[in-house]
A = this chain, B = another copy of it.
Amino acid sequence: MTDESTSTYIVAQPILVAVDNVIFGFDGEEEKLKVLLFKRKVEPFAGQWSLVGSFVQPNESAVVAASRILTEFTGLESVFLEQLHCYSSVDRDPGDRVISIAYYSLIQLETYRKKLVEEHEAAWFELHEIPDLVIDHKQMVADALVKLQDNARRRPVGFNLLPPKFTLPQLFKLYQEIYQKEIDDRNFRKKILATDLLEKLDTKDKTTSKKGAFHYQFNKTKYQQLETDGYDILFH
């Protein structure tokens, strides 16, 4: 299949195909949405900040490639991963003609493997502290955020960013981070609880207040249903 001499398509010229992954994580301590970046290893632009990425191998699809590098950098498997856009300007990469299929994923920062990230000289950056990135990666991050916002309105994606047990104040702050604005907390609770997605537990998280905030978890059945059926909530 990948031996060019056997190709049916004589006249076509192959192109290098990469994937880049905008990995979002929610830092529960700092209550900030962050993006994983690393220092690029290869020329051109070696040493500069970049999204994590890889060339697509002959025996893998783009989503498998994106998943592979996600695992490589975080140790995580089977997390939220969705295609964003394919970037294909002729001159985007001065090293060669390379198109890049961008993905974005949502992970729980608490569960990623810190060691892997350090080995790769990677780091988490807040949205408004993202440094200059190679090629069109800054555009990819911007596009990913828009898509995340759009998605968070229609489907329970936000929960991919939180640990299994979380509190409503945490969830609330996460959504404020996603939308990069202040949200009315009373209306937020109403709307989120109205989805029937949350199950209140009788334990509390007392790390952030004396009163303590109740833990919640998802109703898995409802979660899967809403993941496909969707809803439509605008947060103000």
Which A residues have a C-beta under 8 Å from some C-beta of B?
A: 1-2, 6-9, 11-18, 42-44, 55-63, 83, 85-86, 88-91, 95-99, 101
Contacts and interface: CB of A to CB of B under 8 A. Distances in A.
A62 to B, nearest CB: 4
Prevailing SS type, chain A contact patch: loop
A95 B9 contact: yes
Contact of A88 (B11, B14, B44, B56): B56
B99 A62 contact: yes
Q: Which 4 interchain pairs have the tightest Cβ spacing?
A: A8-B95, A14-B14, A62-B88, A7-B96
A93 to B, nearest CB: 9
B2 A97 contact: yes
Contact of A83 (B56, B86, B95): B86
Contacts of A7: 16, 95-96
